[in-house]
């Protein structure tokens, strides 16, 4: 069984242009087997679709390598922590 933290959607409120905001989430493997997971970050905000700036990304909680997706092996009864980042565009959208 795979269990996500309380977030199924991550919503950023009261954001300021030019700032980076992050929200955390955990993934737990509660099975007896290792599982391969792929995480993709998808923005549901249509106003961000045609921007030249990099707006959404994800990183492991332990480093600052931002990506749009991660593929990893999660051992039995282990968890991994991620942060989803929003870089608010400096210019108006």
The tens place of each residue's pLDDT in the chain, 93 residues long, gives 444 444 456 777 777 777 888 888 888 888 899 988 888 777 777 777 777 666 778 888 888 888 888 888 999 999 989 888 888 777 654
pTM, rounded to two decimals: 0.67
3-state helix, strand, coil in the chain (%, to 5): 5, 45, 55
- CATH number of the domain bearing residue 78: 2.60.40
Domain that holds residue 54: 2-87
Contacts 24+ apart (CB under 8 A), 36-42: 36/71, 36/72, 36/73, 36/74, 37/2, 37/70, 37/71, 37/72, 37/73, 37/74, 38/69, 38/70, 38/71, 39/69, 39/70, 39/71, 39/82, 40/68, 40/69, 41/68, 41/69, 41/84
Number of domains in the chain: 1
pLDDT score at 52: 67
What are residue 47's phi and psi, to 5 degrees?
-70, -15
Tokens read off for 36: 């391969």
* Residue 57: inside a domain: yes
* Residue 32: inside a domain: yes
């Amino acid at each position: 069984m795979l269990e996500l933290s309380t977030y199924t959607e991550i919503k950023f409120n009261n954001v300021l242009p030019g700032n980076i905001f992050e929200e955390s989430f955990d993934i737990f493997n509660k099975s007896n087997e290792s599982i391969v997971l792929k995480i993709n970050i998808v923005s549901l905000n249509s106003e961000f679709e045609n921007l030249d700036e990099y707006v959404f990304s994800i990183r492991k909680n332990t480093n600052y390598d931002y990506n749009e997706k991660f593929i990893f092996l999660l051992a039995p009864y282990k968890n991994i922590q991620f942060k989803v980042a929003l870089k608010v565009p400096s210019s108006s959208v």
